[in-house]
């Protein structure tokens, strides 16, 4: 179990906090708004009404013990920047921060945060991908131009082998089969001759271009 701090308990921060708690982690939730803090007080490990732009107030929370700190402040640019600066001064190395504009992103980049998140943009991309390729149940960007996708096999592709479906893309290393889920069974050794059935879920990894090229086959 890891320990995280989430600063800013609006819609984004609250959702992240609750999800981390669900994974069994310890979460310190911080916000200047007592209504937001009280709403999550019984859910989080610790909830504090604190002005994140006040370095002394942040020091009192002992955030240095956290594995990572997520700054979810979006509406107040100054508070977000000051909060990140204070966390940096406190020696916290793993800082994730929400950005709401290009200028906000540019400043956070200069401050050297570990990761900058654009929740609305990322969700918009995910929704668009799902609308465009409804057979893709989930997808995840893992850095660079590499994505992992969760594809459900329907009657159109049932009976085909993995090799027939992917062509030579797997041989060329453009797309990799990570595993296949069939009902409750996870199958990790999936070769080109493996025959697919309706209801199977195929987990693939590859570049966005390669995955888009095979999407029409599904």
Asked if 71 and 99 count as a contact pair (C-beta separation under 8 A), the reply is no
| Rg, C-alpha atoms of the chain | 21
The owner of tokens 């708004």 is 33
Q: Is the pLDDT of residue 169 over 80?
A: no
Asked if 46 and 16 count as a contact pair (C-beta separation under 8 A), the reply is no
Please state whether the predicted TM-score (pTM) of the whole model is above 0.75: no
Give the closest residue to 73 by CA, choosing from 86, 89, 91, 60: 86
Asked if 61 and 50 count as a contact pair (C-beta separation under 8 A), the reply is yes
Q: Cα–Cα distance between 150 and 181 in angstroms, integer?
A: 10
Question: Strand locations in 57-174, DSSP E?
Answer: 68-71, 95-98, 115-117, 136-141, 146-152
Which CATH number is 122-217 given? 3.30.70.1450
Which tens digits make up the pLDDT trace of 93-145? 999 999 988 899 999 999 999 998 888 766 666 655 555 555 566 667 776 77
Which tens digits make up the pLDDT trace of 206-216? 887 787 777 76
Per-domain boundaries in the chain: 3-117, 122-217
Average pLDDT, rounded, for the chain: 86
Q: Which residue has the higher pLDDT, 178 or 74?
A: 178
High-pLDDT (> 90) share of the chain, %: 47
pLDDT of residue 171: 47
The CATH number of domain 3-117 is 3.40.50.720: yes
């Amino acid at each position: 179990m890891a320990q995280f701090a989430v600063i800013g308990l609006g819609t984004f921060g609250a959702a992240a906090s609750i999800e981390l708690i669900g994974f069994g982690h310890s979460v310190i939730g911080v916000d200047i708004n007592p209504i937001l803090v009280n709403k999550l007080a019984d859910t989080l490990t610790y909830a504090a009404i604190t002005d994140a732009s006040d370095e002394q107030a942040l020091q009192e929370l002992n955030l240095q013990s956290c594995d990572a700190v997520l700054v979810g402040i979006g509406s107040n640019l100054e508070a977000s920047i000051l909060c990140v600066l204070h966390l940096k001064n406190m020696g916290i190395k793993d800082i994730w921060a929400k950005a709401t504009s290009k200028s906000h992103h540019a400043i956070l980049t200069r401050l050297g945060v570990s990761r900058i998140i654009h929740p609305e943009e990322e969700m918009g991309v995910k929704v668009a991908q799902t609308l465009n390729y409804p057979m893709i149940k989930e997808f995840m960007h893992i850095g660079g131009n590499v994505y992992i996708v969760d594809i459900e096999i329907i009657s159109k592709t049932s009976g085909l082998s993995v090799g027939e479906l992917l062509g030579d893309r797997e041989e060329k290393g453009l797309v990799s089969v990570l595993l296949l889920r069939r009902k409750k069974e996870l199958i990790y050794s999936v070769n080109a001759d493996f025959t697919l059935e309706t209801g199977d879920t195929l987990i693939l990894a590859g570049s966005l271009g390669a995955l888009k090229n095979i999407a029409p086959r599904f």
